[in-house]
Chains A and B, each alone.
Chain A
């Protein structure tokens, strides 16, 4: 009960925060570019914890047979601490990918004063390769990059007030 009421209170605080400034949502993709068949990868993403929260993390390329479709491994605590380590591996070497592939997608929430530069905050995010292996297990060093996805969630500036909904 306590944790549930805490969740409700946090929701209230989120509404209050949205009313004070602008909350932006962006989708940031992690890409790997490997000459060898990529079978495992691990990266570290850093961001400004004062402005950014990771609110969702999902797999990369869509499609039933895509290697990185499933959500990667990560520590949930990293979603708000300014640093998150993300990793995944294929369960079948035949799925290992060569060339440039989207391996993960991060949904980030940026909270700024009205008129703040959300794109600048996104550009300040960094990614670093921690480890990677090709099919068979030999370690490799593919290129890794972050890219703001074309798709983005709608801007949320004002909480809904006129529509019927939760009564706090």
Chain B
């Protein structure tokens, strides 16, 4: 869960652009000028790609490029520190510096692998999983036995016609709105279900 001191990564910002980010991410970006600037760059880039008949070589926005460099340098500094510490220990433990160097390199590779595994958000923890857990039967608007995009479409039509039902408040915000329709659509495409849907 991002706070002001822990900025969302680029994937989360892209999710925000496409309306799939968590409310926490949205709140963070609202009050974080740095993240808003990057989000604006991503939106501009997406706009260019969507409009282009032929896709040109894409220029990475400066703000995104700057952040990537900053993150990479910070990570490189961490790795260098780890290497320095490991080397000092190895020098004490053994006079065979060549062997020690190889061992440090191996240790860094393993650490990097573990770091990647433990710091990449597990798909099962994605916000979509929460939506997928919400009252699937109530989302089956046409009682077909499956929640699919047709249910979202029908719900949208009925909402526009003023025929919404209180049972459709899937996000428990006290009102039936487009957000609830979006919840049905997310349920429809969720990988938690065998066919999308339930």
With the chains together, A40 CA to B57 CA distance in Å? 34
Known: A1-B6, A91-B156, A153-B55. A40 touches B149 (CB 8 A): yes
Contacts of A77 in B (CB 8 A): 123, 126, 128, 191
Contacts of A90 in B (CB 8 A): 153
B150 and A167: CB pair below 8 A?
no
Which residues B43-85 have CB closer than 8 A to chain A?
A: 46, 49-55, 57, 65, 67-69, 71-76, 78
A65 CB, min distance to chain B CBs, angstroms: 15
Q: Which of A12, A132, A153 contacts B72 (CB 8 A)?
A: A12
Contacts of A81 in B (CB 8 A): 123, 191
A7 and B71: CB pair below 8 A?
yes
B195 and A44: CB pair below 8 A?
yes
Is A2 positioned at the interface, with any CB of B under 8 Å from its CB?
A: yes
B189 and A73: CB pair below 8 A?
yes
Q: Which of A6, A73, A137, A151 contacts B188 (CB 8 A)?
A: A73
Known: A41-B149, A75-B191. A85 touches B57 (CB 8 A): no
A10 and B116: CB pair below 8 A?
yes
Is A50 positioned at the interface, with any CB of B under 8 Å from its CB?
A: no
A74 and B189: CB pair below 8 A?
yes
Contacts of B146 in A (CB 8 A): 131
With the chains together, A117 CA to B92 CA distance in Å? 51
**Number of A residues whose C-beta is below 8 Å from B?**
55
B65 CB, min distance to chain A CBs, angstroms: 7
Q: Which of A40, A71, A133 contacts B18 (CB 8 A)?
A: A71
Is B15 positioned at the interface, with any CB of A under 8 Å from its CB?
A: yes
With the chains together, A80 CA to B146 CA distance in Å? 25
Known: A58-B50, A71-B18, A137-B157. A131 touches B115 (CB 8 A): no
A74 CB, min distance to chain B CBs, angstroms: 5
Which residues B129-161 have CB closer than 8 A to chain A?
A: 142, 144, 146, 148-150, 152-154, 156-157
B61 CB, min distance to chain A CBs, angstroms: 13
A83 CB, min distance to chain B CBs, angstroms: 7
Which residues B156-198 have CB closer than 8 A to chain A?
A: 156-157, 182, 185-186, 188-191, 195-197
B185 and A87: CB pair below 8 A?
yes
Is A154 positioned at the interface, with any CB of B under 8 Å from its CB?
A: yes
A66 CB, min distance to chain B CBs, angstroms: 11
Contacts of A40 in B (CB 8 A): 149-150, 152-153
Which residue on A lies nearest to B121, using beta carbons? Answer: A3
Is B16 positioned at the interface, with any CB of A under 8 Å from its CB?
A: no
A131 and B148: CB pair below 8 A?
yes
Interface residues of A (CB under 8 A from B): 1-13, 27, 39-42, 44, 56, 58-59, 62, 71, 73-78, 81, 83-91, 93, 130-133, 137, 139, 151-154, 165-168
Return 8 A-B CB contacts under 8 Å, by A number. Answer: A1-B5, A4-B7, A8-B75, A10-B116, A59-B50, A87-B189, A131-B146, A166-B69
Interface residues of B (CB under 8 A from A): 5-12, 15, 18, 20, 46, 49-55, 57, 65, 67-69, 71-76, 78, 112, 115-116, 119-121, 123, 126, 128, 142, 144, 146, 148-150, 152-154, 156-157, 182, 185-186, 188-191, 195-197
